[in-house]
Chain A
Amino acid sequence: MTHRTVVILKVALWAACLAPLGLLTLQAFGYAGGLGPNPPEKVLDVCGKTGLNLLVLTLCVSPIRRSTGIGRLVSFRRPLGLFAFFYLLLHFATYALLDRGLLWDASTALRTVAADIAERPYITVGFTALVLLVPLAVTSTRGMQRRLGRNWAKLHRLVYVCAVLGVVHYYWQVKSDLDFAEPLLYAFLLAVVFGERIKHRLVHAKTAVAAPYQRVQPPQAGEKPSH
């Protein structure tokens, strides 16, 4: 992949990631069909779904990179992950400020938000996922990546936990036990991603044992050879 292609793809990625927010903003001002009779619910739905989509997409980057051999794909992972976090944060903010009314009645809203998180499993799970995403977003910079070294990869494995919790959160909030087609689709996608990852690790482990003195991965650009 040439540098030019990467730039074009990055611009496209930013445009695609900002599109849902742009549409919501237009709709909030009455354009593009408006937000409908229940505006907070609409924003909640769009932000939640977009966040979950981007989170699952973030997890797909590495498997695709490995199967295609296009190393530069890794540079799409951070913006995708950060956009996912951004939409999920917006999802929570909409829930607290507009859905529970923190914006107008702080004391009642704080009580109900706290009670929701403590007592309603789907909210507990969703909130946990969001909290776990915070350290990942904070340590997503190149500087932090360097500083944390090997621990960075370990820490960022938490993203799998967040994705699973996110899908569970989605599954538990549908009105009926039977209305689960979409949450199941997410679960299926996650299973595919996990499957690839486990397969990769198994293959990786075997190669490492068979050839202990050989580098398994080629050196990346800018990285010094170790000997």
Chain B
Amino acid sequence: MRKRFDANIKPSEITPESVFLKRRALLTTAVAAGLVPSIMSCEAATLPASGEFTDVEKWPGSTTEKPNTFEQITTYNNFYEFGTGKGDPAENAHRLKTSPWSVEVTGEAARTGTYALEDILKPHAIEERIYRLRCVEAWSMVIPWNGFPLADLLKRFEPTSRAKYVQFFTLNDRTQMPGLRYPVLEWPYREGLTMAEAMHPLSFVAVGVYGKVLPNQNGAPLRTVIPWKYGFKSAKSIVRIHFLETQPETSWNMAAPQEYGFYSNVNPEVDHPRWSQARERRLGGNLFSASLIPTQMFNGYAEEVASLYTGLDLRKNY
């Protein structure tokens, strides 16, 4: 078998990526149309063709707060790859093609390589977790995600003892993501966690919401959900997972280091330089509903995660 970076490879032997993608897209379309009853249709079974998950187990730790509606969750998004307005992702995300999709695993792990989405999802049972989501902009929602623990996925790649951090990269394709034309952030979007944070049982990979396959504007086909951190720490539409020994670069920190730190844990006592983080607006009310509520330490998950940060000055490590 040829090695990946064989210098002797002839240019004529390489299939251009565009041709390769077209070929796969054609096959997918053919499978969807029932023309090719091949093994591909079995592989794709993990993301239900109907768009709805069946046999979803309810996680006992879910919050009992009233979830936001599907419409609210899917029309008010920060996903700058599709534009900086809250409504832009819902408007533009139809351009994103989530099938075929693959995730590249690189760095300090035994099982690096490129994995098809189907292979990523196959072994995981889908559960429903209702989490609070607190945005750094001082608004929040309650969202019933469908997915599986991040730790279960990361363990499969067998990170080495040198892996102290893990970094996630979002797709960086201008033809599908019009917002990438603007240098708003350092593209591709990248986020990172310590391994201890990533392996924490609350860290989650979402592939759906409300029992439906994740809409593109929410980070399809797979995204992380780290409920005790500000929303931007959860990377959407992930195409690469990178294990490393030193603290990785993160897009918002690169853009404004004095405003967005590496940790970015929800913390009502540490204000954003331009606004208070003590309270948040719980979305879903009308113009005159009293929707301001106090923000909780670690977004209400302090009991579970506070021990990750013992001895760490959270004011300095914001």
Q: Give A contacts to B, CB under 8 Å.
A: 28, 35-41, 43, 98-101, 103-105, 112, 115-116, 120, 122, 172-173, 175-179
CA distance A112 to B276 in the complex (A): 9
Tell me if B7 is interfacial: C-beta within 8 Å of chain A.
Answer: no
Q: Besides A37-B141, A178-B183, 10 other CB < 8 A contacts?
A: A36-B87, A38-B76, A38-B281, A39-B286, A101-B292, A104-B292, A105-B292, A112-B278, A173-B274, A176-B184
CA distance A96 to B27 in the complex (A): 57
Interface size, B (range): 20 to 34
Tell me if B139 is interfacial: C-beta within 8 Å of chain A.
Answer: yes
CA distance A54 to B68 in the complex (A): 36
CA distance A74 to B292 in the complex (A): 45
Contact residues in B for A28 (Cβ distance below 8 Å)? 286-287
Contact in complex: A43, B75 (CB < 8 Å) = no
Contact status of A176 and B274, CB under 8 A, knowing A37-B68, A40-B281, A101-B290: no
- Closest chain B residue to A115, Cβ basis: B276
From DSSP, what is the main secondary structure of chain B's interface residues? loop
Contact status of A179 and B287, CB under 8 A, knowing A37-B68, A37-B76: no
The 7 A-B pairs of least Cβ separation, nearest first, read A39-B287, A104-B290, A37-B76, A37-B72, A37-B283, A101-B292, A28-B287
Contact in complex: B184, A35 (CB < 8 Å) = no
Tell me if B137 is interfacial: C-beta within 8 Å of chain A.
Answer: yes
* In-complex Cβ contact of A36 among B75, B184, B288, B290 (8 A): B75
CA distance A116 to B68 in the complex (A): 29
Tell me if B185 is interfacial: C-beta within 8 Å of chain A.
Answer: yes
Contact residues in B for A98 (Cβ distance below 8 Å)? 287-288
CA distance A120 to B137 in the complex (A): 15
B284-314 contact mask (Cβ, 8 Å, vs A): 1 or 0:
1111101010000000000000000000000
- Closest chain B residue to A175, Cβ basis: B137
Contact residues in A for B278 (Cβ distance below 8 Å)? 112
* In-complex Cβ contact of A43 among B184, B275, B279, B287 (8 A): B287
Contact in complex: B287, A40 (CB < 8 Å) = yes
Contact residues in A for B281 (Cβ distance below 8 Å)? 38, 40-41, 99
27 chain-A/chain-B pairs, Cβ below 8 angstroms: A35-B286, A36-B86, A37-B141, A37-B283, A37-B284, A38-B281, A38-B283, A39-B285, A41-B281, A98-B288, A99-B281, A100-B292, A101-B290, A103-B288, A103-B290, A104-B290, A105-B292, A112-B278, A112-B279, A175-B84, A176-B185, A176-B256, A177-B255, A177-B256, A178-B184, A178-B185, A179-B184
